[in-house]
Structure 1
Amino acid sequence: MKPPRWATWLLEAFGHPDSREEVQGDLLELYAYWVQTVGERKARWRYGLSALKLLRPLARRKSATEYSTPFFLSPVMIRNYLKVAFRNLVKNKVYSFINIGGLAVGMAVAMLIGLWLYDELSFDKYHKNYDRIAQVMQQQTSNGKIYTQTAIPFPLGSELRTKYGNDFKYLSMASWEGEHILTYGDKKFSKSGCYMEPDAPKMFSLTLLKGSEEGLKEPNSILLSESVAKAVFGKADPLNKLMKIDNKLDVKVTGVYEDIPYNAYFRDLTFIAPWDLYTTSEPWIQRSRDQWGDNSYQLFAQINDQTSYESVSKRILRAKYNNVEESDKKYNAQIFLHPMRDWHLRSNWEEGVQTGGLIEYVWLFGIVGIFVLLLACINFMNLSTARSEKRAKEIGIRKAVGSVRSQLIGQFLSESLLVVAVAFVLALLLVLLSLPWFNEVANKRMTILWTHPGFWLLGIGFTLLTGLISGSYPALYLSSFEPIKALKGNTVASRLQTVRFVSIPRKVLVVLQFTVSVSLIIGTIIVYRQIQFSKNRPIGYSRDGLMMIQMKSPEFYGKFELLRSELKKSGAIVEMAESSSPITSVWSNNGGFEWAGKDPNLDADFSTIWVTHEFGKTVGWQFKEGRDFSRVFSTDSASLVVNEAAVKFMGIKDPVGTVVRWGADSNARAFKIVGVIKDMIMDSPYDPVKQSFYLLDYDNVNWIDLKLNPAKSASESVAQIEAVFRRVIPSAPFDYKFADQEFAAKFAAEERIGTLATGFAVLAIFISCLGMFGLASFVVEQRTKEIGVRKVLGASVLNLWGLLSKDFVFLVLIAFGIATPIAYYCLHGWLQKYEYRTEISWWVFAASGAGALTITLLTVSFQSIKAALMNPVKSLRSE
């Protein structure tokens, strides 16, 4: 017999066309099942009863359709969806915690990386003319190698203004940004600033809070940042107040500008003084006005609106070459523009070609953020499908009483969106808590953009997209169950043991998770090894207790002997010297050196550092040959101490006693090498040490170098040194630096990358373990009866643990096999930018794989051992 016709007619009359066939098909399958189990008579009654139960929801759907609103999106149904979703979350607390926690962590990581990317990509956009500003740079060829530098000669500014003025809206020569003493009355401050031409404030669109952009046109003026103005003058009006720069230049405050944001090139620029004041303050600057070979300055430009960087660079290419002496044309100087948009992210050059920079890390962390979020979504899918078996009968009952597939999809998507919404709120809380740490590690000052409409649009869109992506697979998968098979327990999931291909998607996702995790582990280890390799490199001197003080005002000069005597008498120091460069940097490079046997085609360019007699004893440099400078020998004023790199560069076998001439024939000075020291690392610890000459000169020095007494604590010695300096040089603030801290700062960028990579690797592993836990839960749930049978037949806990763990071990091994070549390729390329670099050892990959395997076994063992210890009576009872 067939089902009652009246029931079928009711369904056809009230059923919506989009769902009528699906509902009728499901009921017919149920009818066939009932005929086999309870008989035809009872089956007809059940069929009729089910049809009557369907009338109400189908009628509601039809009514809602008349108002062009999908039934599964009606307010009533949405409320029901959320109610059921909340009950499921509360009922399954462990799984809810894992789902929400995993998503929250993944979303928090994505948010932090998103804030970091926003900060990096918006660098320098504070300046309104961001797209038209550039720095004038040059490239020169020396000994067959092309060098790119920002330093340019003094006369280039007037040359561009005179001959190429139509290409530029503004041009501004500038000194190098550095620490200077600002004095107002009895107040003394050490602040960072520079000297610029009058067009600079307009070019960089500084926001003047007081005064005028034309302030720098006055020869003895100064523009202060808002923070410095408040520090110096408090609440008083700073305009027209008189100050001193470095205790020698009298200036008047003509303007106060808004502090430049931290994500800008000029973020440390706290004051600007006139360029003309700078050029008249030092005799050596005045001498360089017409010297095309003295590259000691900076030049910034804003191009006209109708031009482009490329076209202007082509026109000014020979601006320097056409003016240098014939002997200097061999350097083939080429002038070009470096756009502001590339200053921060694309600042690396190699052989005259732009090779990237921080943009590589922007792409890297952007990809990492996407993958971490993807891992969190994968976990949600795995954990949701792992629970599918327990919800199969629920789905069958829902379909039996009239739920259509669209309603089930809406139910599961609402559950997913609820989880993601809660995770989003929790992620915001995690970001708020972790942002101070993240700012410190990344050297940023980021904040959550609460008032930015784009943030909320992106956040809501991000939540919806994540919820839909995370919930799409379980929604489509679970809602596809046929009601009869679901009620009989004959779902696809229940046949997992026989249909092994069903588990392939989950295994692929887990492999993807651990591929990312293992790659991050390998990357973290390599970055750490590179930093340690460079830190452990012999530096040629002793950094311990080495203090540096910059001589920022005239009061420092001529008091060396007095300071040295007073400080040694106090017992605070062991020795003291002066130098033209800080110990951790080289400020001067010069050419024009000649010696016997020199290749005439060799461009003799050396780092030149002027020092006083006790410099070697102060820094503890190490001699390979010869001797140190000595007060005993008056001829040492014409002597040189050179490093190993210089001996190798010069190609001389017996360097001690070799005479080196410096300068043109008529004005050349002769110097004799008296000693050879081991290479001192003064610049980048990642690059080879450059050939260097050390010369005696008490007039051409800018830094005081102090070796603290190791028998005293550093704090006690610093206090004694400060007392002496305040007594001998009361007009200057006591501002000092330690060589070890300045040297450590050279590793800051790489250490930040390493710390961030470590944090992301830990979070990726954590999220991956959640995914592994989800898959383990799924497998254990499907194999519960098999485990019970095996225990009855005598299987031990160890046997069952091995049985359930081997598949996961295999997945991790596959992930390791994929991650190894990917990580090697990426890290090998990253290491190539360092000339002094570590090797990629095989044990790094082995340790990473072993670590991932150990973490996997620990994660899986919880579920495996739990299942193995289960009473087989409980697992077999339903049979």
Structure 2
Amino acid sequence: MINNYFKIARRNLVKNKVYSFINIAGLATGLAVAMLIGLWIFDELSFNKSFQNYDRLAIIKQNQTFNNEISTQSAVPYLMAEEIRSKYGSDFKHVVMSSGSSTQILAFGDKNITKKGSYTEPGITEMLSLNMIKGSRSGLKEINTIILSETTSKALFGDIDPIDKVIKVNNKQDLKVTGVYQDIPYNSDFKDLAFVAPWELYINNEYWSEKKTNPWRANMFVTFAQISDRADMDKVSAKIKNVKLNAVRAEEAAFKPEIFLHPMSKWHLYSEFKNGKIAGGGIEFVWLFGIIGVFVLLLACINFMNLSTARSEKRAKEVGIRKAIGSLRSQLITQFFSESLLVVGLAFIFSIFLVLSVLPLFNEVADKKMVFPWKEPLFWISSLGFSILTGLIAGSYPALYLSSFQPIKVLKGSGFARIKLGSFAAVPRKVLVVVQFTISIILIIGTITVFRQIEFAKNRPVGYDRNNLLIVAMNTQEVRGHYEAIRSELLKTGVVQEMSQSSNPTTYVAAINNGYEWDGKEAGTQGNFATMAVSHDFGKTVGWQFTEGRDFSRSYSTDSSGVVINESAAKFMGLKNPVGSIIKADGKPFRVIGVIKDMIMESPYKASFRTCFFLDYSWASVFNIKINPESGSTEALSKIEQVFKKFNPAAPFDYKFTDEQYAKKFGDEIRIGKLTSFFAVLAIFISCLGLFGMATFIAEQRTKEIGIRKVLGASLASLWSMLSREFVLLVILSCILAAPIAWYFMDKWLTKYEYRTEFSWWIFALSGAGALVITLLTVSFQAIKAALMNPVKSLKNE
């Protein structure tokens, strides 16, 4: 019996090829989108969960108050871990200081590689539960040691056992390899941790002026913590609140520093803070794509149910005949449900093939390394369960409603008339079409808004010239002490227009200080200033844009006590005539020699950071090289590399283009835009499939009417208009409903950006017009095909 049900179902699919294709393709696409989004959400929610101590790990953050505004940061003073261990040791299993992730040169024999790693106290290996392949987690107890990731070890040593081998770091430190750990999973904040070296090695070799005089002032390091097994994260966080406030000097206490634990479970999805409180983060995108996934799948289900109920009306006589020859209602119900489940089953199979084919591209766009969960029972149970539920819901109308009719009335015609129910029968389908296109138009408006916001920020003046600007890190002593010689050699090549050095690149702020005083400063005024050390020629290299004053010059020996500030700094200080004004930094006076336009060094979506630039060669960490625009990039890079190899032949030539580094600031938004547009296209595709199916069904229903109208002289244009008008009106209604909904959600999304675009009427007009054009193109094919049909064929008796 079951075999017969599916045999009839298969014959119906083959008989109605167009409807079968639309149903299966639309539902398969919807299921594939839901699976992809489900995999993405699972990856986001499982971020960092590969660590055994996930629930007990935290990073120590601090809030500081400046002019009644609370600022949150992860950088803390040098003595933070030591102070917490000494006063609250019973509440913690581990508290470790870290340099944060930085790029270093690792060398063994003739092999040189550049990798990111961290200088950290030994407890980090236990905290992160590193899976040791060779050696042990205690391998960092001696100062001149290092442990490597598996990939880094293979890059340096190949198949040779690395244990006890000595590698050179930045051409100055010889470190013994004492362990190799398994690569940390990609969906982790530590995915790039290629090596770990002892904290003491870093702190003994790095120097800053306040290391001994005032170690609590400079916020330069990262502190990780693991609370005790029986401790409560919130209670421990409250305990250590004043650990810094109780230790700092009076001038630092004025900023009301508050220390707290930010759990690892919130690092990825709750990373944004506003006025000292969590204000969101990646969780917003989880909700966004979760809703999009539900809506896209809903569109596919609407198509399926729409076409299933529409086609079922044509099977009224079949129901009558089968009942007349003895079929029970239960058998008819089973028949309709089996047909529905067969379609859903085929769609589910095709959706898996779609996911497998699209997943590599999806990973690339989403910056993920997801794999299909073949061995996850939860995935299969939830997917199959939802598919079965969809099939039962879609098949419920024909199964329960049509099977209830009396065969005599159906075969006489009265039952068939009852089934059509006049215009009322089409109301549910019209509602579903409106829902479909409302969702599609919202996604179109959202996509346009996201890309407008990206372009708006990209077109923002950055205050300097990023083109042909190269950044080269000063990782080794061989280049640190030879700036003038390297500069001279580079300028001789002809491919370098200018060169300078600075404490950090122009694409981020490395140091923030608050110890500034100036004439007219109001009592109680507090403010952080980005601080950057530069060499002569820095302004010419990056293309500073002066509004007042001049650049640092070798002609003025007094420039060592000069400072260049940006417009935001001048405005914050209230300096009406800034050039010549005196600014004190930690009590030392500096004369303002120039004011430049704001340089966008941090987020392009936020206001520029007030910044002070000092002439200081000792603080340099990067070279800034301006390539001659008349030189080709390949030729220029080759000649620049030769110069650096001359001074440091053992180190790899590691460089970055400033414009590429700046472009990375748009990475998250670009990914969101691409994913949203991808889902919007699929939503429109699914909606159009349904619209095409509905247009085909209506054209079939009105075949005789069209024939009569043609006989009476109706033109092709009037017939096309008659068949298309209803769908156009439905889409216009969708546009009216979609506009306020899209405006509400996108306006809310834009409020997270200080520097943001505004809504324009043309966005809604373009989205609506696009939906109308797509509708007309979709419907017109069937409308024109029906209008061109020979009336003799359409009017002849069955």
What TM-score do you get using the length of structure 2 for normalisation?
0.98
Percent identity between the aligned chains?
A: 58
Q: Which residue of 2 aligns with 1:859?
A: 778
Query: Alignment partner for residue 636 of structure 1, among 536, 559, 564?
Result: 559
Q: Deviations over 1:294-314 (max 9, x none)?
A: 111111111122221111111
Partner of 1:155: 79
Offset at 1:493? Answer: 6.7
Distance across 2 between alignment mates of 1:650 and 1:435: 53
Partner of 1:505: 428
Map residues 86-125 of structure 1 onto 2, 5 A cutoff.
86-125=10-49
Q: 2:606 aligns with which of 670, 676, 687?
A: 687
Instruction: Give the stretch that moved more between structures: 483-492 or 593-602.
Output: 483-492
Select which of 776, 779, 802 maps to 2:721: 802
Cα deviations across residues 389-438 of structure 1 (Å, max 9, x unaligned)? Answer: 43222222112222222222222222222222222221111111111110
Cα deviation, residue 748, structure 1? 0.6
**Aligned pairs (5 A) from 1:667-816:** 668-816=587-735
- Asked if structure 1 preserves the Cα contact closer than 8 Å seen for 2:22 and 2:693, the reply is no
In the aligned structure 2, how far is the partner of 1:490 from the partner of 1:741?
Answer: 72
CA–CA distance in 2 between the matches of 1:755 and 1:438?
10
- For residues 543-575 of structure 1, what are the alpha-carbon distances to aligned partners after superposition, in whole Å with 9 as ceiling and x for unaligned? 111110111121221211111111111112101
**Alignment RMSD, CA only?**
1.6
Indicate conservation of the 8 Å contact 2:535/2:615, yes or no. Answer: yes
| In the alignment, structure 1 residue 409 sits paired with structure 2 residue 328 | no
Deviation of 1:288 (Å): 5.3
Instruction: List runs of 5+ in structure 2 lacking aligned partners.
Output: none
Correspondence for 1:400: 324
Secondary structure of the corresponding residue to residue 284 of structure 1: coil
2 CA distance for matches of 1:474 and 1:364?
Answer: 35
- Look up the match of 1:838: 757
The residue type paired with residue 544 of structure 1 is N
- The Cα of 1:148 is off from its aligned counterpart by 0.7
Shift of the alpha carbon at 1:795?
2.0
Structure 2 residue 383 is matched with structure 1 residue 464: no
Per the alignment, in what secondary structure is the counterpart of residue 214 of structure 1?
coil
What SS does the aligned partner of 1:810 have? helix
Matches within 5 A, 1:307-456: 307-456=231-380
What's the counterpart of residue 538 of structure 1? 461
Provide the C-alpha distance between the structure 2 equivalents of 1:228 and 1:470, rounded to a whole number of angstroms.
54
State the match for 2:150 in structure 1: 226
Retained in 2: the 8 A contact 1:594–1:604? no
Alpha-carbon offset, residue 783 of structure 1: 2.4
Amino acid at match of 2:225: A
1:73-116 deviation line (CA, Å, top 9, x unaligned): xxxx2211121111222222222111111111111111111110
Counterpart in the other structure of 1:73: none
The farther-off stretch of 582-591 and 386-395 is 386-395
Shift of 1:600: 2.4
- Tell whether 2:141 aligns with 1:217: yes
1:527 aligns with 2:527: no
Q: CA deviation at 1:621?
A: 1.3
Equivalent residue of 1:331, what SS?
coil
| Displacement after TM superposition at 1:289 (Å) | 8.6
Verify the 8 A CA contact 1:388 1:493 in the aligned structure 2.
no
SS of residue paired to 1:609: strand
2:584 to 643, 661, 666: 661
After superposition, the C-alpha distances for 1:494-552 in whole angstroms (9 at most, x for unaligned) are 764x6211111111111111111000000000000000000000011111111101111
Q: 1:792 to 1:301 in 2, by over 3 A?
A: same
Contact map agreement 1:142 1:603 (CA 8 A) in 2: yes
Q: Is the 8 A contact 1:104 1:426 kept in 2?
A: yes
* 2:210–2:218 contact (8 Å) kept in structure 1: no
- Distance in structure 2 (CA, Å) of the matches to 1:325 and 1:224: 40
SS for the counterpart of 2:205 is coil
1:489: Cα distance to partner?
4.2
In the alignment, residue 617 of structure 1 is paired with which amino acid? K
Q: 1:776 to 1:226 in 2, by over 3 A?
A: same
Of the structure 1 ranges 103-112 and 747-756, higher mean CA displacement relative to structure 2 is found in: 103-112
Aligned residues of 2:313 and 2:419 also touching (Cα < 8 A): no
Residues of 2 paired with 1:588 and 1:167: CA distance?
32
In the aligned structure 2, how far is the partner of 1:818 from the partner of 1:700? 59
Opposite residue 154 of structure 1, the aligned amino acid is Y
Equivalent residue letter for 2:698:
V
Give the aligned residue type for 1:273: A
Classify 1:622/1:673 alpha carbon distance in 2 versus 1 (closer, same or farther; 3 Å).
Answer: same
1:348 CA displacement = 0.8
Q: For residue 492 of structure 1, report the CA deviation from its aligned partner.
A: 5.2
Q: What is the distance in 2 between the residues matched to 1:491 and 1:141? A: 77
Structure 1 residues 101 and 877: alpha-carbon distance in aligned structure 2, compared to 1, 3 A threshold: same
Match of 1:304 in 2: 228
Question: What's the counterpart of residue 572 of structure 2?
Answer: 649
**Any idea what the Cα deviations from partners look like across 1:632-669, whole Å, max 9, x if unmatched?**
11111111111111111111111111111111xxxx32
Instruction: Indicate if the aligned counterparts of 1:154 and 1:289 stay in contact, CA closer than 8 A.
Output: no
Among 177, 190, 194, the alignment partner of 1:270 is: 194
Instruction: Report if the CA contact (8 A) 2:478-2:647 is conserved.
Output: no
CA distance in 1, matches of 2:399, 2:669: 44
Contact kept in structure 2, 1:381 and 1:474, CA below 8 Å:
no
Equivalent residue letter for 2:491 = K
Unaligned runs of 5+ in 1: 1-76
Q: Which residue of 1 aligns with 2:745?
A: 826
Aligned to 1:564: 487
- How many pairs are equivalent? 798
Instruction: Report the residue type matching 1:848 in the other structure.
Output: S
Equivalent residue letter for 1:394: E
In 2, the alpha carbon distance for the partners of 1:406 and 1:147 equals 68
1:590 to 499, 506, 513: 513
Structure 1 residue corresponding to 2:54, chosen from 109, 118, 130: 130
User: Please, what TM-score do these two structures have when normalized by structure 1?
Assistant: 0.89
Partners of 2:386 and 2:174 lie apart in 1 by 56
Rounded Cα–Cα distance in structure 2 between residues aligned with 1:343 and 1:125: 11
Post-superposition CA distance 1:833-855 (Å, at most 9, x none): 10000001111111111111111
SS of residue paired to 1:183: strand
517, 534, 539: which one pairs with 1:611?
534
SS in 2 for 1:675: strand
Deviation of 1:868 after TM superposition, in Å, equals 1.9
Q: Write the letter of the residue equivalent to 2:792.
A: V
In structure 2, what is the equivalent of residue 140 of structure 1? 64
Equivalent pair of 1:155/1:289 in contact (CA under 8 Å): no
One-letter amino acid matched to 1:561: E
Which residue identity lines up with residue 177 of structure 2 in the other structure? V
